[in-house]
Chain A
């Protein structure tokens, strides 16, 4: 065997033995006599349709049995935490919403909760209801993606098309309320960016009606499907003590039978006033997690319905704190020439008050100061506990913002869930963790 530096050569030598480059359907090009035994180290990803994003797996396999599984991450690292140190406190939301892009509201919620803790303020009631509404809609859309991609990866393509079809309904709601399907930057320190749009309540009600009609389809397609159950049952087993040791939260933890849910245990933004149940299941495997997600969507729909009714009775109430030193100075509105600041606000700052103009300029460019100190806030994201540790030095920008992303921590369960199992079950195990690489790598 000749040593070569060409990375695309079919065979190279390394200290650990020969390295073969095969990309699929060309395994017969390998000279079988050069391989000692059945023991192989396989690199899977980072570009692979079944690894749930740019996740790289290094698998040591013996035949089809996985002996050692390691995850390599970092391919989507964009330095979001560092970037936030050079933007104002309000602009920080725009960065962190892009981390876990399947559940953007949870990112915003954790950050905003930490900043509000540092400021010692509380958002108005209507803003809190809107936050809860968006967080729960987001939980449904995120779980739909989890089911959809998980189904796709084991060949259940109908689950995938249905999942993305229904997620689109929720993204339409997001677009109506926040203006964007993803990357909303809608939850801001002190409240939310905009009030409910006209006709919003009606659209919410009709979409929820449609979702309630469609959600049973997943149960009908999967719950008793022998192939689906055969692929998921008993795969990726991880019990309660394993979850706690490795820091796994969310549906994975609740599938072990432990009802740990921050919405109930450490309620925030009025979650204690909503009527809903925490879903648990005594099947700590991929199937149990699937069923937990399925049932959690129904609980979230319950919360969405209650929040919708509350919002219907709260028309005209403020969605941002009254403190003008923190609140964003203007509201967006749609005029004849497109979207912009509301006409009354422009009239006020341009025609009536020099001080109002100065204030507008100062708060938009400089932002507000946050008293020095540090805070940790956590919310129950669709994937588990997302925490935000922010440190302020008393300035207009975060001194440090760190996110404890549930995908990052949960992905540590990869090894223990897949080692000793079959190669094909690695995919199922990872799909049951449901990592979003944007959140893992930040």
Chain B
């Protein structure tokens, strides 16, 4: 453990290179890559944040050290989730929200998730095509992530990456999910406020009362509101929200035309109002705790699955199990329980 980093300022070697420090280090002291990145986060060097995200995403052995520090450094950025179906205008809305946030003098980090190919693992991350303004603004940082097989609308490490952004000290952290269908609701586990973006003409009142994405919004917005059906979409949403009479916070429904920046300032006001509501009612702590639980769950699940599969691959029990499955001698749930028992050395009675 512990690779030595070369002291090119912010031109790091990649994970895995061993190089001798040469500059700015008269004692020839060994400086670890993760220490350099942690210092970079403290100094708000954008290249440090960018490399930290890469290391965390790739499951590098430096990630643990970086995250440990990042959790200590984390500030009080507002984490805003932005979700909705493909094509409703999430990215365009993010572009105008960045503008509105900067107009008020706040800094903003954006995490935008797009899907990975289930076949090749490759991805086209296209959010920058829409997020065009303020690319070189020093108080804006934009990072595209591929979902890498994770199905909840985010990527495997989004929770940790939000923490890195928070440690860097952004006032707002916008997290844009993949174009979500109905059940990609993971964003509610990580965001303090969730903005659900809709567009006119995408569904009737039966869609509106289904479970899932429409339940998780703290603020709703009907984008492309210059479309003639916009008022109807708002009415359907309002009717759906009206069925619940015991709101502590009744989610407002706003109209925006993101491509023209219309309604975006009002939208930001509502998001801020929601943050304020959370703070006033002691609910912010609850949401933050929820994000920790989400991060814990994700980590436990990920590490356990990786561990069991690696063990089972190594000792051949996976091959054996697959053979039995293909011969129809057993069924997947039984094999899973066997593998868990066998490799986690558990006496746990998971079938109860």
- Verify that A and B bind, or say they do not: no
Q: B-contacting residues of A (Cβ < 8 Å)?
A: none
Residues of B within 8 A of A (CB): none
